[in-house]
Amino acid sequence: MKKKNIRIFESIGALGEFSLKWLTSRIKEVPDNEFFTVALSGGTTPKQLFEYIALHGKDSINWNKILFFWVDERCVPPDSSESNYRMTRLSLLNKLNIPENHVFRMFGEVEPKEEALRYSRILLENVSLANDFPRFDLVLLGLGEDGHTASIFRGNTQLFQSRQFCEAVKHPQTSQQRITLTGNVINNASEIAFIVTGHSKTEIISNVLNKHDTVYPASLVVPVHGHLTWLLDKEAVPSKI
Ligand code: 6PG
């Protein structure tokens, strides 16, 4: 088992400060004729991180160097309060001068299976390939209390064997349709960062980080060649880790 890279922060602000510093230095390394590709997750924790970065990072990063993709999307219109795209727009993108052609939205408003195919083509055209899969420079993941990540839920871990880049799935409780990157794309990334905050996540963090219980999709996030880092606030850390 690869050594776990776990960083624990006093607050989401400290986590945001670390993340911003890392991103700032990483973007400076991107060659002139290349871009940094990032796939973003939805959820309240990513939202807090985006708000921090938009507030403190506007002038420290060359935002033109970044291409924005999504890890997953709810199958709702882009102006829906449930849309990950809308959340990212409001908390991050609208506050920065991001060229429109650098934002690759998953179309939550179209037929899910068609969108999964369309988005797979978008990845093929805009993200470098490695081992036959798109290799993102960074994939940012949240962690649900039930151990899901992206929109890969318990009982759906065959999505880590899928040869597709994206698939249309259904939320097991709400039956909400979603589009998600598959496990092979997530694990192909150069950097994978889980951001997890709040006391409600201590049990799932323990099950995933201590027990490596593969019933939880998050336990199946194991980078093929890249690095996996867990960014936790102290509230989310179980007594033993
Ligand atoms: C989604 C996300 C999902 C989220 C986790 C964590 O579309 O809901 O992609 O994977 O990141 O559920 O969400 P919270 O940070 O809100 O707990």
177-181 and 227-233 beta bridge pairing: unpaired
Distance, CA of 141 to CA of 131 (rounded, Å): 21
197, part of any domain: yes
30, part of any domain: no
Mutation pick for ligand 1 pocket among 76, 83, 88, 143 (CB with most ligand atoms within 8 Å): 143
Tokens 């309240």 belong to which residue? 44
Residue 15 belongs to a domain with what CATH number? 3.40.50.1360
Mutation pick for ligand 1 pocket among 50, 51, 52, 72 (CB with most ligand atoms within 8 Å): 72
| Mean pLDDT for the chain overall | 96
CB 65 within 8 A of CB 95: no
Percent of the chain with pLDDT over 70: 98
Distances (CA, A) of 187 to 181, 182, 212, 221: 10, 9, 16, 6
40, part of any domain: yes
Total number of domains constituting the chain: 1
192, part of any domain: yes
Distance, CA of 181 to CA of 87 (rounded, Å): 18
Residue 220, pLDDT score: 96
Looking at the predicted structure, is the pLDDT value of residue 240 above 90?
no
CB 169 within 8 A of CB 138: no
**98-127: pLDDT as tens digits:** 999 999 999 999 999 999 999 999 999 999
Residue 121's Cβ-count burial label (10 Å; 0-12, 13-18, 19+) is exposed
138, part of any domain: yes
* Of the listed ranges 2-11, 158-167, 185-194, the one predicted with least confidence: 2-11
Compute how many other C-beta atoms are within 10 angstroms of the C-beta atom of residue 197: 22
Residue 153, pLDDT score: 98
Ligand 1 atom closest to residue 84's alpha carbon, by position in its atom list = 7
Would you state the structure tokens that stand for residue 186, as one six-digit string? 């997530």
Looking at the predicted structure, is the pLDDT value of residue 2 above 90?
no
Looking at the predicted structure, is the pLDDT value of residue 138 above 70?
yes
pLDDT band at 90 (very low <50, low <70, confident <90, very high): very high
* Residue 32, helix vs strand vs coil: coil
Of 68, 128, 134, nearest to 99 by C-alpha is 68
Nearest CA to ligand 1 atom 17: 144
Of 150, 184, 194, 147, nearest to 169 by C-alpha is 150
Distance, CA of 25 to CA of 14 (rounded, Å): 17
113, part of any domain: yes
Distance, CA of 19 to CA of 9 (rounded, Å): 11
111, part of any domain: yes
Ligand 1 atom closest to residue 44's alpha carbon, by position in its atom list = 16
Ligand 1 atom closest to residue 74's alpha carbon, by position in its atom list = 7
Helix (H) / strand (E) element for 167: namely strand 166-170
Tokens 């973007």 belong to which residue? 27
24, part of any domain: no
Distance 150 CA to ligand 1 centre (A): 7
Would you tell me the crossing angle of helices 12-28 and 44-56 to the nearest 10 degrees?
60
E runs forming strands in 71-124: 72-74
Q: Which domain does 130 fall in, by range?
A: 6-19+35-166+179-202+225-236
**CB within 6 Å of ligand 1 — which residues?**
41-46, 71-72, 84, 142-144, 148-151
Would you state the structure tokens that stand for residue 69, as one six-digit string? 């993709």
Distance 33 CA to ligand 1 centre (A): 33
Nearest CA to ligand 1 atom 13: 43
Work out the average pLDDT over 184-196.
98
Compute how many other C-beta atoms are within 10 angstroms of the C-beta atom of residue 159: 23
